[in-house]
Structure 1
Amino acid sequence: MHAGNTLTIDRISKRYGDVVALDDLSFEVRPGEIFGFVGSNGAGKTTTMRITLGVLSADSGEVRLGGRPVDLDVRRTIGYMPEERGLYPKMKVGAQLAYLAELHGLSRRDARSAVARWTERLGIDTRVDDTVDALSLGNQQRVQLAAALVHDPAVLVLDEPFSGLDPVAVDVMSEVLVEKADAGVPVIFSSHQLDLVQRLCHRVGIIAAGRMRAVGTVEELRGAGQTQLVVHAPSAHDGWADPIDGVRTLSHQDGRTVLALDPGADDQTVLAAALRTGPVHEFSLQRPSLTELFREVVAA
């Protein structure tokens, strides 16, 4: 159990010449939490992860694990899965994983048993004597995950771990992340698959142009977005709800109206107005999905 190991990203900034890659970025990933890190390409996700691992140094700010600045000893306790994948193509899977486990401080014997455990768990135990370049991309991905897990890390930092995986492998990967979090490990992963993020993550951070634009639970983020109301009133004309304070018509077709409600707008007033036009067959509140919210945040 790795209790008390909060991963803290404290006001890190990084520039490349005139380009600001990260601008005073702060957030934390708590023990036992799965934190989803989302943003467009070039938003700063990979840079953040590389700085977390110490592969890249920040211009200012600090990364801490359990209150300790990340030095070489702390770095050994991190399980990292890089986006550009970092395996030796000509080395055999089993030998490579055992080598990486020993690099992280496991004895030869413990390394061997960890390799056996994780290759079996990830469904690649029959491929341990194959070289990495002989594997399908999905299986290479599984080996890369095994490499991040083989030394029983105190924290998991995974850059796009789900890209290129088939649905079965996605399920296995998801199970492993949940299991690690349940054991008290802070888990952070970046992904463009927002449905997965919405399903798996306790909290989500949305980064754009090197700054954290929104952070919170999926429910908090969705609650902060604009609520939509779907009203099916066959006799209503277009614009029937526009006079009501804080209500805007998004679309109106065949008596079906989609309305945007500002925070504090009264849905009961809308219902009364709809009933004045005749019968109402549908009246339902919809909160934005993480995908819609992401578009809103990034566009803003």
Structure 2
Amino acid sequence: MAVLELDDLSKSYGAVRALRSTSFQVRAGEIFGFVGSNGAGKTTTMRITLGVLTPDTGEVRWAGRPIDHATRSRIGYMPEERGLYPKMKVGEQLTYLARLHGLGAAQARSSMERWTETLGVDGRRDDEVQKLSLGNQQRVQLAAALVHEPDILVLDEPFSGLDPVAVDVMSGVLRDRARAGVPVIFSSHQLELVEAISDRVGIIKDGSMVAVGGIDELRQVGAPRWAVTTAVTTPVTTAGDDDTAWVSDLPGVRAVGSEQVRRAGGAATRVEFETTHEGSEQAVLARATSRGRVEHFGRVTPTLTELYRDVVSAEGSDDSPDDTDGDEATTEVTS
């Protein structure tokens, strides 16, 4: 099965290091969510994949062979900044772009009709792009990436500015393309969405990949996290008061935080903690039982947002100029 390989990519702009030995793979039929803060290196990576930029070191391969001009013509690219002709009509523009990629006139027209209908802009084929809403412009931009039936999809912030209905439509299109065997790589700051549709996720920071894997794989990184909710009879003075001291002295246990909820006649306290020793969670459970009625006890399943925060925090912070890579200023993941 064909694989898109990004192998040891490095790129500098003068003294600014945009990419630092960046490597990962996107398999055929896989949706790969690419996340990172503004300036982390996502757009530079995508432009190298497309051939717009040349890496200082490293190579991009498709099916084991370096990407050449013929392969690049089979890539569907959606830039973060819209790259459409604003005064050209939607249908004419998409047909023109399909012809540029080698489709015959009839095939180009048919493909334009198919994708404008699929993406819900078939009624706007005779409108100039500049007269469309931002959401519809985004749909047309995706159609431009799809109209030549590409073998690879590279999408930079494809969900930006879309309403929930349009997000569902676009998510369905990406899943459909993946089912057809197309490798899909996309960036987004909407981590809940990335988690929902991605087969694997790559997290990039300061030009380096700091984590790559499926969501379940990434959840295995770091110490296991648990939560225990106990009904206690001691009065609560302030909602949200910290109440972790009772677990902090246990060996192999690190309290993460607590949450208190007022109730008639008492309160419930939920404490999250991490364990570094096998069986440490049982000591927490035993102590919680001695304090009051245990209402809940179990493993915490972190969201991608929490995983992202933990991974990036674990890597430390560096605000030096090397952190920027020439990406356009956008609203990105910062937490």
**For each residue in 1:134-188, what CA deviation from the matched residue of structure 2 results, as whole angstroms up to 9, or x when unmatched?**
1000000000000000111101000000000011110010000001101111000
Question: Could you say what the CA RMSD is over the residues aligned between the two structures, in angstroms?
Answer: 1.5
In 2, the alpha carbon distance for the partners of 1:5 and 1:191 equals: 25
1:276 Cα deviation after fit: 2.2
Matches within 5 A, 1:210-229: 210-229=207-226
The sequence identity of aligned pairs, in percent, is: 60
Q: Which amino acid counterpart does residue 279 of structure 1 have in structure 2? A: R
Counterpart for residue 94 of structure 1:
91
In 2, the alpha carbon distance for the partners of 1:105 and 1:147 equals: 14
Counterpart for residue 269 of structure 2:
256
In 2, the alpha carbon distance for the partners of 1:283 and 1:271 equals: 7
Distance 1:227 1:50, change over 3 A: same
Q: Which amino acid counterpart does residue 7 of structure 2 have in structure 1? A: D
In 1, the alpha carbon distance for the partners of 2:150 and 2:228 equals: 51
Moved runs in structure 1, 4+ residues, more than 4 A?
Answer: none
Q: Which amino acid counterpart does residue 295 of structure 2 have in structure 1? A: H
In 1, the alpha carbon distance for the partners of 2:229 and 2:214 equals: 31
Residue of 239, 245, 253 corresponding to 1:247 = 253
In 2, the alpha carbon distance for the partners of 1:146 and 1:289 equals: 31
**Correspondence 1:287 to 2:301:** yes
Residue of 13, 26, 29 corresponding to 1:29 = 26
Distance 1:238 1:173, change over 3 A: closer
In 2, the alpha carbon distance for the partners of 1:113 and 1:238 equals: 64
Residue of 75, 79, 83 corresponding to 1:78 = 75
**Correspondence 1:123 to 2:120:** yes
1:225 Cα deviation after fit: 4.2
In 2, the alpha carbon distance for the partners of 1:264 and 1:95 equals: 64
Residue of 16, 19, 30 corresponding to 1:19 = 16
Q: Indicate conservation of the 8 Å contact 2:257/2:273, yes or no.
A: no
Counterpart for residue 60 of structure 1:
57
In 2, the alpha carbon distance for the partners of 1:81 and 1:214 equals: 24
Residue of 13, 26, 40 corresponding to 1:43 = 40
Q: Indicate conservation of the 8 Å contact 2:253/2:276, yes or no.
A: no
Residue of 175, 178, 183 corresponding to 1:186 = 183
Counterpart for residue 263 of structure 2:
none
Counterpart for residue 5 of structure 1:
2
Counterpart for residue 333 of structure 2:
none
In 2, the alpha carbon distance for the partners of 1:42 and 1:261 equals: 32
In 2, the alpha carbon distance for the partners of 1:225 and 1:175 equals: 33
In 1, the alpha carbon distance for the partners of 2:255 and 2:269 equals: 11
Distance 1:281 1:148, change over 3 A: same
Q: Which amino acid counterpart does residue 245 of structure 2 have in structure 1? A: G
1:226 Cα deviation after fit: 4.1
**For each residue in 1:205-247, what CA deviation from the matched residue of structure 2 results, as whole angstroms up to 9, or x when unmatched?**
0000000000000111122244332222234875112222221
**Correspondence 1:297 to 2:311:** yes
Q: TM-score, normalised by structure 2?
A: 0.85
Unaligned runs of 5+ in 1: none
In 2, the alpha carbon distance for the partners of 1:217 and 1:79 equals: 24
Counterpart for residue 164 of structure 2:
167
In 1, the alpha carbon distance for the partners of 2:68 and 2:14 equals: 26
Residue of 91, 99, 110 corresponding to 1:113 = 110
Residue of 272, 275, 284 corresponding to 2:289 = 275
Distance 1:128 1:48, change over 3 A: same
Q: What SS does structure 2 have at the residue aligned with 1:280? A: strand
Q: Which amino acid counterpart does residue 274 of structure 2 have in structure 1? A: L
Q: How many residues align?
A: 297
